[in-house]
Chains A and B, each alone.
Chain A
């Protein structure tokens, strides 16, 4: 019996050591080794400031620095960066702007135009060889191909300012304001949406039998927990495919994205766009130009009650 207990003690000790070693190895792999996995905001050993850009492209023959913008069709963060690209395009006399695509895209020029990016050239590149593992990736290189800076994903206002400064913009020109308040946010969304409605206005339009479609772009679970009466659920990540089949493009589309001013500010400060900002920008790009958002924080207005559903005619928008 004593022998068995001894073996058991030794086994437990060995187990402790093995598990501890595994945990240490795992922590080292996760936090110290350069990222090799694909992610939306990847880091790669080939792409860092000071490295030489080896793209196999003869695009660097210029006396100007080159700003490469690695894009991809269907990349939501590329679309959400269009305001920044528009600003970048103003400095194409200082730096050459090259849009990269991972494969031959027949309508690449149309896509670049949609993003408001004026380019000096467009090229096809092997992203895996370049070290670009996610889009958009913005790379600034000097005329010799030495990388001056790499920025991944959707850039927040401080990084946008930094990129513009490196392109030669003055401090004043490069300043991109942080969206510190909802007024600033609204000014971004307004050019795309033109109109916005409060919940009360939507309700009034329903009562007046105005023709429109009310779409809730939140997740299924959020929609299931409560939604505006008459709203149909098309989560934003499904909109690109489902929208054209389920909504007529010429009808007024009112989008409920669960607007919340505090959340907007918090989300923007993290450098990522909010659901409302993404909705305003992406749905317009999908061809639904007759678009408005519900800017209302009255979450109590969302109800799943059978009475509301029945009173507002099932799932359709206008009544």
Chain B
């Protein structure tokens, strides 16, 4: 009988956790909207050890979650050329600050993606925001048009 009670309470607790977990799915918005809400931006510093992984240019894609105050509460890297770049970008993103939300509940969170490019010029590199560069020719890719012209 006692075992049954323990089992029942454990099952109920698990169910409650599952229900709670389900509601934590965070609404998602586009990068343009997210960048419009930005009030403090810290540019990631290019780590010299990443020079070995980037020839000319590489993409960095990050996913962030912000809370109602506009603070970053979660940040992950979806794509990057080198683990050292991940660390540098995450370090910077934790310091980013967005406009606080009004008219929503205090548990409100908003997620979105952020794009950066690693640009290597000779023996130095930098991490830039998309609006700081024009056309980027990423390593391992070659624009089809220029390829045809070269033939």
Residues of A within 8 A of B (CB): 5, 8-9, 12-13, 15-16, 19-20, 22-23, 26-27, 30, 36-40, 72-74, 76, 127-129, 133, 209-213, 220, 232, 237-238, 240-242, 245-248, 250-251, 313-319
Contacts and interface: CB of A to CB of B under 8 A. Distances in A.
Tell me which of B36, B103, B142 has the highest count of chain A C-beta atoms within 10 A of its own C-beta. B103
A214 to B, nearest CB: 8
Q: Which 3 pairs show the lowest CB-CB distances between chains A and B? A: A128-B103, A318-B144, A211-B148
Interface string B110-145: 100101010000000000001001111010111111
26 contacts: A8-B2, A12-B9, A16-B5, A16-B12, A19-B16, A26-B20, A37-B104, A37-B108, A39-B27, A74-B30, A74-B32, A128-B103, A133-B104, A209-B151, A210-B148, A212-B144, A232-B141, A238-B115, A241-B32, A242-B115, A242-B130, A250-B145, A251-B144, A251-B145, A317-B144, A319-B147
Nearest to B114: A241
Given A19-B16, A240-B31, A314-B140, A220 B9 contact: no
Contacts of B42: none
B138 to A, nearest CB: 7
A123 to B, nearest CB: 18
B5 A12 contact: yes
B8 A16 contact: yes
Contact of B13 (A5, A19, A37, A128): A19
A37 B141 contact: no
A16 B16 CA distance: 12
B142 A240 contact: no
B35 to A, nearest CB: 8
Contacts of A39: 27
Contacts of A37: 104-105, 107-108
Nearest to A25: B16
Interface of B: 2, 5-6, 8-9, 12-13, 15-16, 19-20, 23, 27-33, 36, 59, 61, 78-79, 101-105, 107-108, 110, 113, 115, 117, 130, 133-136, 138, 140-145, 147-148, 151
Contact of A23 (B2, B19, B133): B19
Contacts of B110: 38
Nearest to A314: B140
Contact of B148 (A16, A23, A73, A318): A318
B141 A316 contact: yes
Contacts of B147: 211, 316, 318-319
Given A240-B30, A248-B135, A314 B105 contact: no
B30 A237 contact: yes
A38 B104 contact: yes
Contacts of A241: 31-32, 115, 130
A12 B148 CA distance: 74
A129 B103 contact: yes
Given A37-B104, A238-B115, A314-B142, 14 more contacts: A12-B6, A26-B20, A30-B23, A38-B27, A74-B32, A133-B104, A212-B144, A237-B113, A238-B31, A238-B61, A240-B30, A246-B141, A314-B141, A315-B141
